[in-house]
A and B are shown apart, each in its own frame.
Chain A
């Protein structure tokens, strides 16, 4: 209920969004009487961070290599063909 207050959304809509986040491992929910307190899952967030870091490394290496390929094309006068 508290999480729904700032948003122009119904409680069931908020619950569906939270369920998606929970299934994705980005938040953790527990049962406390009638309440369902949520917290961010540091492991889930860390996984996303690590994935982005890996993507960045792979792309950086690819594009550094592409710089070399492009330099060869320019040197051989093939860049506008």
Chain B
């Protein structure tokens, strides 16, 4: 059973939903506490995140560095715009592959869903032109190792 849904919305958005069997508090914390983030936000098997800076406050900095099985790596930087414990996070992120991708604006919501949580992540992508550059760049550098996306298109 696939619990993940991912769909495009208009020209500029990608919306991802996923149910988790834990309350919103736990899912929210797993998105902002470095020791928890480093256990799951890793992309394909074999990748690790040796550096995880995550200042969970408005204006706080984000820096995730990933290392692949062959020693190669790339990183992501970003800033937090809004945090509403334990329901909503808004941040901006960009990948460094090493070329820098355009900013990806991401709103992540955590809503109670039965005894668990429905997470809805809405990415706002750059315009179609920069999006295509990003697609080409992501393909070259194996962007499958992380979000996006997308985290811009991502």
Contact = CB atoms under 8 A, between A and B. Distances in A.
B94 to A, nearest CB: 16
Interface string A43-81: 010011011101111111111011111110110001111
B112 interface: no
Contact of B44 (A50, A58, A66, A70): A58
A14 interface: no
Given A55-B144, A70-B27, 13 more contacts: A24-B129, A47-B135, A51-B143, A54-B138, A55-B147, A60-B4, A66-B30, A69-B30, A70-B21, A70-B26, A74-B26, A79-B23, A81-B25
Contacts of A78: 26
28 contacts: A23-B132, A24-B129, A25-B132, A26-B132, A47-B132, A47-B135, A52-B6, A55-B14, A55-B147, A55-B148, A55-B154, A57-B144, A58-B43, A59-B4, A62-B147, A63-B3, A63-B40, A66-B20, A67-B20, A68-B39, A68-B40, A70-B20, A70-B26, A71-B22, A73-B30, A74-B26, A78-B26, A81-B25
A76 B93 CA distance: 32
Contacts, number: 111
Contacts of A21: 128
A58 B129 contact: no
B26 A65 contact: no
Interface of B: 2-4, 6, 8, 14, 16, 18, 20-23, 25-27, 29-30, 36, 39-45, 127-129, 131-132, 135-136, 138-139, 143-150, 153-154
B16 to A, nearest CB: 6
A30 to B, nearest CB: 19
A44, A50, A63 pick with most chain B CB within 10 angstroms:
A63
Contacts of A67: 20-21
